[in-house]
Structure 1
Amino acid sequence: MSQSVSLDRRGRVAVLTVDNPPVNALSQHVRQGLRDGVKQAIADRDVAAIVIACAGRTFIAGADITEFGKPPKEPGLHEVLALIEASPKPVVAAVHGTALGGGLEVTLACHYRVGDKGARFGLPEVKLGLLPGAGGTQRLPRVVGVEKALQMIVSGDPIRADEALRYGLIDEVAEGELAAAAVTFAERGVSEQRPLRKIRDLDAKLAAARHTPELFANFRKSVARQTRGFRAPESCIKAIEAAVSLPFDEGMKRERELFLELLASPESKAQRYFFFAEREAAKIPDVPADTPVRDVKKAAVLGAGTMGGGIAMNFANAGIPVTVVEVTKDALERGLGVVRRNYEATASKGRLTPQEVEKRMGLITGTTDFNAIADADIVIEAVFEEMPIKKEVFARIDKICKAGAVLATNTSTLDVNEIASATGRPESVIGTHFFSPANVMKLLENVRGAKSSKTIIATAMALGRRINKVPVLVGVCYGFVGNRMLHQRGKQAEKLILEGALPHQVDRVLYDFGFPMGPFAMGDLAGLDVGWRIRKGKGEKSAVADTLCEMGRFGQKTGAGYYRYGADRAATPDPDVEKIIVDVSTQMGITRRPIGDDEILARLLYPMVNEGAKILEEKIAIRASDIDVIWVYGYGWPVYRGGPMFWADQVGLKALRDRMLEFKRATGDPFWTPAPLLERLAADGRGFTQS
């Protein structure tokens, strides 16, 4: 058939097998093989039915994304699916692993579908800023119903085989060997002379939706919050509306129009860039993929506070036993109580069963005996963010932990090399910077010390993926990548409110850009006392924030910070805070002025990009796209804007540099000096993220 599709006969059934590792993507040669194979099977008089199956670990898991943006190669997927659907002989899809995107669309063109127990079915195109472009928006609602199709296509999340069977997406869950079960199903269909069921001709589930016109309005309302700023979800909804209101062929045309609009959109360009950026972050130039890694069978976490408890949950969630060590019994019980309440809250939403809660709690052992870490394969320290305490803890760890154990610190800013110097084995020390809440946030900033061994680095990266994080490797400097860039934004946020803006205006500008919240709302959520304590330790001041803290206004937890909070935790701008800000401006001799949203956005984000350029030049980050992954997963940068470095390239580095120089001329502040790398790239007309 082709290099990746073979055909063999099992009795009266032709079995077409796709073998295109690793995920059987719908590359041109796969499409050609399917087309040629189906044609050959149709022409063969001895063939009564056709089964489409896949070799390897999965069914077709989507389009070949490397073909996006390139001239189309024949045959197109639409042509192949039309041929399958029009086959005069029944075509059965045999699904194992995942049938995603174009893979699920292949199954929807078949007349019947059989899946094994572990199969998953989904249309995740929305996560690339796209919609299913080969009939998925037209066929899926005809088979599972409009409401379920809306949920699946707009979320992009897959469903399991049992749910697929319940909604009619598959006809049978196979027992035993899948291909044999699919052949038996096909043989039975031929013997019983079952009609060819073409999904395009089904109408009953669409008719039900026509009688509930409010269905689409209600759905839009239900997803408004999580889809804010994204373009693709609304296009997905419009395409499904077309399935309900238009004949099939016209609906297909509407789907195509909407798909092409999205393909050309800046949002999809950013989301597709980010898809590759996330995968690229796993590659470390001097740590080959075959570097040996430690087998982590048992973990230990030092500290049962907010971070320690959250980190322990990650291990329990992945089925890894973890020991949590605290200094006092009270602190330990309090911390483990929070962990249990977190699990029970998840269970109350139906996302865990009570049995799963107990199983995970059973993997977490609490103790006040420091020696309990002796047999751990990895120990993660999550104590106070103060260097003397960290070094004292690591000196103790060094004496107790077994040889070969990974010694990790959860520091968010401190020098990993200095922490490692407290041990006799600095090659075993690495930073594992989890983000709060650690059981929720996807980012893991792994910090490579000067002496961290390649095995320890490879282990930390592999373990990050195992506990369902997105690990990114960075180097040692104050604040690493994310917090170092955030610090620059924070400086300008403070200056903006002293010069004439107010906290709610600054926050609104970033919220409108796509962040979940702005710097002042974020400070109130985290607790203003945290930064206050750090500033006092370093002898630094922040006039407005310090005044608020001296008044006991620490943010949400005290009912007041930059904002005032009611019982529902909703933020309200506070005239008292405005007065404090104006008074501080007056004391500092600053004449306040109206500041436009455009200036606020530039002054908050351009310094971050400039700091990112310094981070790249200093080789703290391996590549610009790693910085973008850190900011999307760790700080809520909107993925439909790609990340700060990608976004800067879209703005244009020359325009960005020139605006910084304008600020420098206007203020005389060397803060606005463009980084050397930014200067060079702007002068050459290049960008950070160009390959």
Structure 2
Amino acid sequence: MSDVVTYTRDGDIAVIAVNNPPVNALSHAVRKGMQDALRKFESDPEAKAAVIVGEGRTFMAGADISEFGKPPQEPWLPELVNEIEACSKPVVASLHGTPLGGGLEVALGAHWRVAQPDTRVGLPEVHLGILPGAGGTQRLPRVAGVEAALDMITSGRHVPAAEALEKGIIDAIDDSGDPRAAGVAFARKLLAEGKGVRRTGDMTAAGHDPALFDAWRAEMKKKSRGQLSPVVCVDAVEASNLPLPEGLKRERELFQKLHDDPQRAALVHAFFAERAVAKVPEASATPRKLEKIGIIGGGTMGAGIAAAALQAGLKVVMVERDAEAAARGEQNVRRNFASSVKKGRMTQEQLDALLAANFQATDDYGALSDVDLVIEAVFETMAVKKEVFAKLDAVVPEGAVLASNTSYLNIDEIAACTRRPQDVIGLHFFSPAHIMRLLEVIVGEKSAPDAVATGFLLAKKMKKVGVRCGVCDGFIGNRILGSYMKAANMMVEDGASPYVIDEAVREFGYPMGPFQMGDLAGLDIGYLSRRDRDATRDPADRYAAGFLDRMYEKGWIGQKAGMGFYDYSQNPRSGPPNPGVMPLIEEERKKLGITPREFSKEEIMRRYVAATVNEAAKVVGEGIALRPLDVDMVSIFGYGYPRWRGGPMHYADHVGLDRILADIREFEKEDPRFWKPAPLLVELVESGRKFGDLNNA
């Protein structure tokens, strides 16, 4: 036996226990230890049945991520699962915690399965760009039926024990709280009832229908927006009508196809980057107390932040300018919970009780006298922000964190109007704040490490991805957004259709194009932002927003007005192109003396990608983002960048930095100011390195 797997007997029941903290990952040592234990069980004349159990907090939670990218060592997991299933005496898997991926595949190889009530099972490999490669696509349909297997495997969702029992994935739920005892008791019951080996591979997968698979493939192609793994998972499950050896062979072929595709590397990068992004210089600081927060403003953003905080178990005080506005703010918070009530996730009574116990809406700043952190979410102008922070400075207790939800304003300037700049940080939420997972944590020049650590603690409590940002106009996300939006605007002025640009960007994998996004956010926001910058704009820079100004003047500001680039008169969320936009753009081109030319989708994306990567390289080079991976996480979680491409920095490495720099050099001939290459990008190309090399520096 190995150090991580033990073989003992409880009378005539063999117990094979895995102890590989923290989650009993299926490392090589675990696989080899389990194989040795199984062979000992087979040759043990006094053992009539075996129980596989995990010590600690879970059964087996899947593959050992430390082995990702390394050559596999025998026994491979598929071989081990086959060996479990081939045992001549009954094998019981006793589950608890989160048997995911390979952990569930091990359980499916066992002949019987019992679980604790809080167990959650799943096959989440699709999120890593692969499919369950140890028989999951072949055995799950045999125990749960084809449709249930398609749902679980293509979504990667975690299924609770009660649902798993209903679907036939497990055979019983035991509430003893002792997985080892539960497994032994279940095995003894099997023996007493004369039940022995029941191999999953001998079962028939119910519900096979070619039309069903065609429908699932079409749906996955539509939903995945270019990601391969959900579609290929459907192909793999379809093979479950074959005899098990043939189905496993087909599964292995499809697994290898996905494994060799660049999407797998991109999704694995995103997986690790999501965890690495919290490794910041302030991580060693002890966060301040965080139990009660204040929110200034009850509009869309303030109410969204309040809902996110309440969901995280925090007490919330919302302050508005008067009693009427405070009442509206509370209604906005209630609206954010409406879908949860409608879908049965909580009752109206539970919502009322939550708000009564943990939420207060008021027009009295004095109600903030005992908060641990306060977030300002008011109108995006420096004068208003300073006025609010002066009031906060007077009433919020010493040691509380003062945060601004600004999306681009200078945190240092805001902090300077208080007596405690060390307590001031930025917390840039993305709308809707109770749904979007990104939270930019902006660190000012004088922000104390423990104040920053408290910002990251808030992100953790809210289950958001917190990304550290330095101070600049737009921080990470909006600064990069401004660059690729300007590239899109310049292409429109030069002859591209905004609708073709939107289409090209969607085909790349974004959920919507830049002009659709503008309609969603409101084109008035960009207009007001441009007016704020009029006094400081360099006249030598190309403006490239005249057609947007004309749209604002006509009241075509997007979805909230019923008209923007698209016509929302029949549907408030989508519609056909606004027929007035192209004539307006053509007039603007004539005014500027521009002879329009055609832009292919390939050229559109070359420019869009180049503008994104070039600005992102400046953001990293200037230290606004700590690492390229921080840019990738901001782009994925805040701006809809396709996760299966890994983020703009990972994608640039895949395409080749030399190729992207060559594009920028070409575009630089047209506009040497906008297309000036980022020094970091030039440096990396000249030294033969990649952005990825900087992630571990």
TM-score by length of 2: 0.95
Secondary structure, aligned partner of 1:471: strand
Deviation of residue 435 (structure 1)? Answer: 0.4
CA distance in 2, matches of 1:567, 1:356: 36
Match of 1:464 among 459, 463, 472: 459
Aligned pairs for 1:468-547 within 5 A: 468-539=463-534, 542-547=545-550
Match of 1:592 among 596, 604, 609: 596
The corresponding residue for 1:254 is 250
8 Å Cα contact 1:344-1:357 kept in structure 2: no
8 Å Cα contact 1:448-1:473 kept in structure 2: yes
Q: Deviations over 1:321-361 (max 9, x none)?
A: 21111112222222322322232223323444445433444
Deviation of residue 565 (structure 1)? Answer: 2.1
Q: Deviations over 1:96-155 (max 9, x none)?
A: 110000000010011111111111100000000110000000000111111111100000
The corresponding residue for 2:145 is 145
CA distance in 1, matches of 2:468, 2:56: 31
Aligned pair 1:220/2:217, yes or no?
Answer: yes
Deviation of residue 404 (structure 1)? Answer: 2.3
The corresponding residue for 1:630 is 634
Secondary structure, aligned partner of 2:164: helix
Aligned pair 1:581/2:573, yes or no?
Answer: no
The corresponding residue for 2:108 is 108
Deviation of residue 300 (structure 1)? Answer: 1.5
CA distance in 2, matches of 1:641, 1:91: 41
Distance 1:37 1:359, change over 3 A: farther
The corresponding residue for 1:308 is 302
Secondary structure, aligned partner of 2:9: strand
Percent same amino acid at aligned positions? 46
The corresponding residue for 2:11 is 11
CA distance in 1, matches of 2:290, 2:97: 26
8 Å Cα contact 2:293-2:372 kept in structure 1: yes
Letter in 2 for 1:627: V
CA distance in 2, matches of 1:494, 1:276: 34
Deviation of residue 288 (structure 1)? Answer: 4.4
CA distance in 2, matches of 1:672, 1:293: 42
CA distance in 2, matches of 1:344, 1:477: 37
Letter in 1 for 2:484: R
The corresponding residue for 1:658 is 662
Distance 1:219 1:686, change over 3 A: same
Deviation of residue 441 (structure 1)? Answer: 0.6
Out of 432-441 and 43-52, give the one that drifted further: 43-52
Aligned pair 1:646/2:650, yes or no?
Answer: yes
Q: Deviations over 1:242-274 (max 9, x none)?
A: 102x11110000000000000001111110111
Secondary structure, aligned partner of 1:46: coil
8 Å Cα contact 2:304-2:336 kept in structure 1: no
Out of 560-569 and 438-447, give the one that drifted further: 560-569
The corresponding residue for 2:96 is 96
8 Å Cα contact 1:448-1:474 kept in structure 2: yes
Distance 1:374 1:225, change over 3 A: farther
CA distance in 2, matches of 1:537, 1:178: 63
CA distance in 2, matches of 1:396, 1:557: 32
Deviation of residue 66 (structure 1)? Answer: 3.0
Deviation of residue 670 (structure 1)? Answer: 2.4
Aligned pair 1:435/2:430, yes or no?
Answer: yes
CA distance in 2, matches of 1:322, 1:650: 45
8 Å Cα contact 2:564-2:578 kept in structure 1: no
Letter in 2 for 1:683: E
The corresponding residue for 2:198 is 197
Ranges in structure 2 where 5+ consecutive residues have no aligned partner: 538-542
8 Å Cα contact 2:7-2:14 kept in structure 1: yes
Letter in 2 for 1:429: V
8 Å Cα contact 2:293-2:374 kept in structure 1: yes
Deviation of residue 9 (structure 1)? Answer: 2.5
Deviation of residue 213 (structure 1)? Answer: 3.8
Aligned pairs for 1:321-332 within 5 A: 321-332=315-326
Q: Deviations over 1:623-663 (max 9, x none)?
A: 10110000000000001111111111111111111111111
The corresponding residue for 1:423 is 418
Q: Deviations over 1:486-510 (max 9, x none)?
A: 1111211111111101110111111
Out of 352-361 and 188-197, give the one that drifted further: 352-361
Secondary structure, aligned partner of 2:207: helix
The corresponding residue for 1:234 is 231
Distance 1:15 1:353, change over 3 A: farther
Q: Deviations over 1:50-71 (max 9, x none)?
A: 1111122222111123323322
Aligned pair 1:209/2:203, yes or no?
Answer: no
CA distance in 2, matches of 1:4, 1:433: 44
Deviation of residue 41 (structure 1)? Answer: 2.3
Out of 356-365 and 232-241, give the one that drifted further: 356-365
Aligned pairs for 1:269-288 within 5 A: 269-284=265-280, 286-288=281-283
Deviation of residue 224 (structure 1)? Answer: 4.2
Deviation of residue 233 (structure 1)? Answer: 0.7
Out of 53-62 and 469-478, give the one that drifted further: 53-62
The corresponding residue for 1:340 is 334
Secondary structure, aligned partner of 1:562: coil
Q: Deviations over 1:360-383 (max 9, x none)?
A: 444322111111111111111111
Deviation of residue 156 (structure 1)? Answer: 0.3
CA distance in 1, matches of 2:100, 2:243: 25
CA distance in 2, matches of 1:329, 1:473: 36
CA distance in 2, matches of 1:359, 1:104: 38
8 Å Cα contact 2:522-2:560 kept in structure 1: yes
Letter in 2 for 1:209: G
RMSD of the alignment, in Å?
1.6
TM-score by length of 1: 0.96
Aligned pair 1:602/2:597, yes or no?
Answer: no
Out of 438-447 and 414-423, give the one that drifted further: 414-423
Out of 69-78 and 353-362, give the one that drifted further: 353-362
Letter in 1 for 2:77: L
Distance 1:157 1:360, change over 3 A: farther
CA distance in 1, matches of 2:3, 2:289: 37
The corresponding residue for 2:291 is 297
